[in-house]
Amino acid sequence: MAFPGRYRDRLLQSSDGQVVVTVDRDHCLLIYPLPEWERIEQKLIKLPTLNRTARRLQRLLIGHATECQLDGNGRILLPQPLREFAGLDKKAVLIGQGNKFELWDEPVWHERRDQWLAEAAQENELPEELEALSL
């Protein structure tokens, strides 16, 4: 998978091209610059292991975390198990999310995006956390 130039340069500056790829509950892949992943991993490790939900999250995110290095052309090789998890086939969509990227199978991304837009159009109220958000 090749990163677009605008992201490639930032990844090379912030993490020497080292990223960590893991799974997400939405069946896409999460890609973190290594320093950001290290912060996330420390938070995950501190979760109580006797809490079933926390333990499940640790197993998913930490258990599937795979370090990858950008090559000279800004590409990373995604391991087969991660590609299978996300259903990545021919075309993929890379979505910037601030501190990370999401990598989706293109048809799945279009389906989910359309679903989220339809749901947002039907909702009359924003959650309390979003009421003060101005875009």
Q: Does domain 5-105 sit in CATH 3.40.1550.20? A: yes
pLDDT of residue 123: 74
Encode the chain in three state secondary structure: CECCHHHHHHHHHHHCCEEEEEECCCCCEEEEEHHHHHHHHHHHHCCCCCCHHHHHHHHHHHHHCEEEECCCCCECCCCHHHHHHHCCCCCEEEEECCCCEEEEEHHHHHHHHHHHHHHHHHCCCCCHHHCCCCC
What is the rounded average pLDDT of the residues 97-120? 93
Q: In the chain, what are the domain boundaries? A: 5-105
pLDDT digits (tens, 9 = 90+) for 3-23: 998 899 889 988 999 999 999
On average, the pLDDT of the chain sits at 91
* pLDDT, tens digit (0-9, with 9 covering 90-100), for 69-96: 999 899 999 999 999 999 998 899 999 9
Contact present, 68 and 19 (Cβ < 8 Å)? yes
